[in-house]
A and B are shown apart, each in its own frame.
Chain A
Amino acid sequence: MALLSLSGARWLAAYLQPLRQLCANGWLREADVDLCLRQLHAALRLNRVFAQVEARRWVADDMLALQLRCNGNARDWRAGQHVQLYLEQDGVRHGRSYSLTSVATDGHIEIAIKRQPGGRLSNLLLDHLEVGEVIELGQAFGEFAWPQKHNAVLLLAAGSGITPLLGLLRDALARGFAAPVTLLHQVRHQGQQAFAAELQALSARHANFQVQRVFSGEGDRLSAERLAALPGDHLRVCGPRGFVEQACGWWHDAERGSSVQSESFSPLPLLAETEAGEVRLSFARSRQQVSGSSNANLLEQAEAAGLRPAHGCRQGICTSCTCLLLAGTVRDLRSGELFAEPGQPIRLCVSAPHGDVEIDL
């Protein structure tokens, strides 16, 4: 039984700064403090973000919107960013990224989860996550933002690419954005028109906003001609990699300007088992992008790029070079096993990139 309400826990979190200091300086162990705090409320933690499920709402045949309320630790979140949602299965804490479709100042957020055929985690969330349960989130990240200038905006979404764009759109319209906004949402069939009713209501309320839909299952797709007919000086596009690359290509070919932001959520391209090829290595903390090889270990490649990662035995024993894998897939050079869990610690010296990767280094 929780001793505090979630509002009470959020209020208390603001006064825990002395404890945070003590933990940061090693006088207290954060895990022990968290154990005590969670007795007060299941979502209360010192630094980590936990949220309680407040409502579940199906917004399409295959998409569920989750209304969550965070403990007080979410910092400067904006609609349109992503958060990592963590769920433990078989002793492993798995993370999946979802877009924030809304962020309120009182800690309420909404994310939308699309059912992935065969996806273990999304199905677990969709079918078993109940109202009242508490789940862990990472801090929000992502640079997707509404244009600064007051010109016409074109939003292109495919599938669940609608979610970050909806977050940006809701925010902009609520702030009174008055220039024309057009949203085109491409889905496979009618039942997948996520947030259809809400988008309809928005376009009824805001004369400057109109929404169009394309059903790719009926042979209709976004094309260069169709894009040319859509108004807008700024482009925001989100969807699978193929959709995004195509749309951006047409936009640039038509020389419609450089105010483009795009995000694609398909996994980074994966190499076949034996193929040795060139991959892109992104080192997040040092803000470096280099091209690398899928055959060499990441430690040597990072060093070749001028980085000085901590390292020790260089053969997978000492764990000195352990780093977080942020995106992409790496192959363990000793076992051939693949790791693709975002946020997972990997040993650079025995991991080779298996396609493009991003490392917290």
Chain B
Amino acid sequence: MSHRPDRELTPAELEAFGQELDELRQRTLADLGEADARYIRRVRGVVRLCCWAGRALLMFGWFPPTWLLGTFLLGLGKILENMELGHNVMHGQYDWMNDPEFAGRQYEWDIVGPADFWRHTHNHVHHTYTNVLGMDDDVGYGVVRLFPEQRWKPFYRWQPLWVTIQALLFQYAVAIQHLRLDKLVKGRISKEEVRPLARQFSAKLARQWGKDYLAFPLLALLLGANAMAVLTGNLVANLLRNLWTFLVIFCGHFTEKAAVFAPEILQGETRGHWYLRQLRGSSNLSGGPLLHILTGNLSHQIEHHLFPDLPARRYAELAREVRLIAERHGQHYNCGTLWGQFATVLRRIWIYRLPSAGTA
């Protein structure tokens, strides 16, 4: 990985590296308690407040102050629900509370992708095989070439356009990932294998559209309010959420200093190795508490990948120690501002659309 100033670790060093991170994890686990439980319940309270207040304000029609604020609040509520609440709860970060309302296996989130799909494509595939080419489908989601190590295909030429469409429709892009339509087209899986998944997806889609684009506009009609204003507000709120989640997620693993790996790296991979791969493949965003909470603490992407099942509110304090551990072991700690990191992502999208950049 020539673009990262990392020191290669000997097996003994790697073991020590893994041990330090394990100890950090243990210390944090032992400390979980009341404050973490109160925090996630409070987050859920804020989500409810934002969504319900947003939906109430949208009932006042096109009047700009209420429509704009209502749409913004609904979008904010969905962002918080998807990122700080749903994503983190579904990782099992709060399973220790033994509270069925925060059980990772059962949580269903406010987005068209069924939670079961996400638990497979994200929790299992992405978090186990992070940035391993050919195994982590999140590397470009099959439509974008971000690293020279990815084999070039003609349609990558137009990838700035594909990425724009993906950003606008991000919730759908994430949802259909699990259907493996690419493999279906190539005939590597059968229609029969996809059908139950497609049914599950369309059921969730019907519920989401039914709620946002049918039930609440109908409620507006019944109340004598403007149904179009409500429908548009929902549409824009979902769009805001799509763009924001796209932005955060693309900054997590595709920045300039993020590394990708060949599948051979998985052979005989130790715990220390796995930690090292997570550190090298992830990138953080620096900023204030507001940025961290709006990204669901995925601004601490490195800590999230090292400790996906620790409550995300702990990542900020973990980050201080992880940075020291990384420095002690000569590893680059990839951190930058949101726009700085995003600029490097855009550069990758632009450069690697061409085959000639393959050897650069």
Q: Once the chains bind, are B37 and A91 in contact (CB under 8 Å)? A: yes
State in angstroms the CA–CA spacing of A153 and B103 once bound together.
45
State in angstroms the CA–CA spacing of A27 and B209 once bound together.
11
* Interface residues as binary, B70-95 with A (CB distance below 8 Å gives 1, 0 otherwise): 00000000000000000000011001
Instruction: Give which listed residue, A91, A94, A319, contacts B38 with CB less than 8 A.
Output: A91
Q: Once the chains bind, are B120 and A91 in contact (CB under 8 Å)? A: no
State in angstroms the CA–CA spacing of A312 and B126 once bound together.
11
Q: Is A334 an interface residue (CB 8 A)?
A: yes
Which chain B residues border A95 with CB–CB below 8 Å?
A: 98
The interface size bin for chain A is 20 to 34
Which chain B residues border A26 with CB–CB below 8 Å?
A: 108, 203-204, 207
Q: Once the chains bind, are A320 and B98 in contact (CB under 8 Å)? A: no
CB within 8 Å for A335 and B26 given contacts A91-B36, A312-B124, A320-B124:
yes
Which parts of A194-219 form the interface with B (CB within 8 Å)?
none
- Best-buried of B26, B36, B98 by chain A (most CB within 10 Å): B98
Which parts of A1-60 form the interface with B (CB within 8 Å)?
26-27, 29-32, 34-35, 48
Q: Once the chains bind, are B108 and A29 in contact (CB under 8 Å)? A: yes
Which chain B residues border A32 with CB–CB below 8 Å?
A: 48
Q: Please give the distance in Å from A61's CB to the nearest CB on chain B.
A: 32
Question: Which stretch of B27-35, B184-192, B216-224, B245-253 is in the interface?
Answer: B27-35
The interface size bin for chain B is 35 or more
Q: Is B22 an interface residue (CB 8 A)?
A: yes
Which chain B residues border A322 with CB–CB below 8 Å?
A: 92, 95, 104-105
State in angstroms the CA–CA spacing of A93 and B127 once bound together.
28
Q: Is A284 an interface residue (CB 8 A)?
A: no
Instruction: Give which listed residue, A94, A320, A345, contacts B119 with CB less than 8 A.
Output: A320
Q: Is B309 an interface residue (CB 8 A)?
A: yes
Q: Once the chains bind, are B128 and A315 in contact (CB under 8 Å)? A: yes
Q: Is A344 an interface residue (CB 8 A)?
A: yes
Q: Is B158 an interface residue (CB 8 A)?
A: no
Q: Is B11 an interface residue (CB 8 A)?
A: no
CB within 8 Å for A345 and B103 given contacts A27-B210, A312-B128:
yes
CB within 8 Å for A345 and B123 given contacts A91-B37, A318-B128:
no
Q: Is B339 an interface residue (CB 8 A)?
A: no
Q: Is B308 an interface residue (CB 8 A)?
A: yes
Q: Is B99 an interface residue (CB 8 A)?
A: yes
Q: Is B96 an interface residue (CB 8 A)?
A: yes
Q: Once the chains bind, are A317 and B128 in contact (CB under 8 Å)? A: yes
Q: Once the chains bind, are B97 and A312 in contact (CB under 8 Å)? A: no
Q: Is B193 an interface residue (CB 8 A)?
A: no
Beta-carbon nearest neighbor of B37 in chain A? A91
Which parts of B104-122 form the interface with A (CB within 8 Å)?
104-105, 108, 119-120
Beta-carbon nearest neighbor of A345 in chain B? B95
Q: Please give the distance in Å from B15's CB to the nearest CB on chain A.
A: 15
Q: Please give the distance in Å from A189's CB to the nearest CB on chain B.
A: 36
* Interface residues as binary, B1-39 with A (CB distance below 8 Å gives 1, 0 otherwise): 000000000000000000000100010010011111110
Beta-carbon nearest neighbor of B36 in chain A? A91
Q: Once the chains bind, are A345 and B105 in contact (CB under 8 Å)? A: yes
Instruction: Give which listed residue, A27, A48, A334, contacts B207 with CB less than 8 A.
Output: A27
Q: Once the chains bind, are B105 and A335 in contact (CB under 8 Å)? A: no
Q: Please give the distance in Å from B144's CB to the nearest CB on chain A.
A: 24
Q: Is A343 an interface residue (CB 8 A)?
A: yes
Which chain B residues border A312 with CB–CB below 8 Å?
A: 120, 123-124, 128
Which chain B residues border A335 with CB–CB below 8 Å?
A: 22, 26, 29
State in angstroms the CA–CA spacing of A48 and B95 once bound together.
18
Q: Once the chains bind, are A94 and B128 in contact (CB under 8 Å)? A: no
Which chain A residues border B203 with CB–CB below 8 Å?
A: 26
Q: Is A313 an interface residue (CB 8 A)?
A: yes
CB within 8 Å for A91 and B204 given contacts A312-B123, A322-B104:
no
State in angstroms the CA–CA spacing of A213 and B34 once bound together.
45
Q: Once the chains bind, are B128 and A319 in contact (CB under 8 Å)? A: no
Which parts of A77-102 form the interface with B (CB within 8 Å)?
88, 90-95
Q: Is A341 an interface residue (CB 8 A)?
A: yes
Q: Please give the distance in Å from B111's CB to the nearest CB on chain A.
A: 13
Which chain B residues border A343 with CB–CB below 8 Å?
A: 98
Q: Please give the distance in Å from A338's CB to the nearest CB on chain B.
A: 13
Q: Once the chains bind, are B119 and A92 in contact (CB under 8 Å)? A: no
Q: Once the chains bind, are A92 and B128 in contact (CB under 8 Å)? A: no
Q: List 11 A-B contacts (CB under 8 A).
A: A26-B204, A32-B48, A90-B34, A92-B33, A92-B96, A312-B120, A318-B123, A319-B92, A319-B105, A322-B92, A345-B104
The 4 closest A-B pairs by CB, nearest first: A91-B37, A312-B124, A319-B92, A318-B124
List chain B positions with a Cβ less than 8 A from chain A.
22, 26, 29, 32-38, 44, 48, 91-92, 95-101, 103-105, 108, 119-120, 123-124, 127-128, 203-204, 207, 210-211, 274, 308-309
Other A-B pairs, 6, CB within 8 Å; known A27-B211, A313-B128, A317-B127: A91-B33, A94-B98, A319-B119, A320-B123, A320-B124, A345-B103
List chain A positions with a Cβ less than 8 A from chain B.
26-27, 29-32, 34-35, 48, 88, 90-95, 312-313, 315-320, 322, 334-335, 337, 341, 343-345, 347
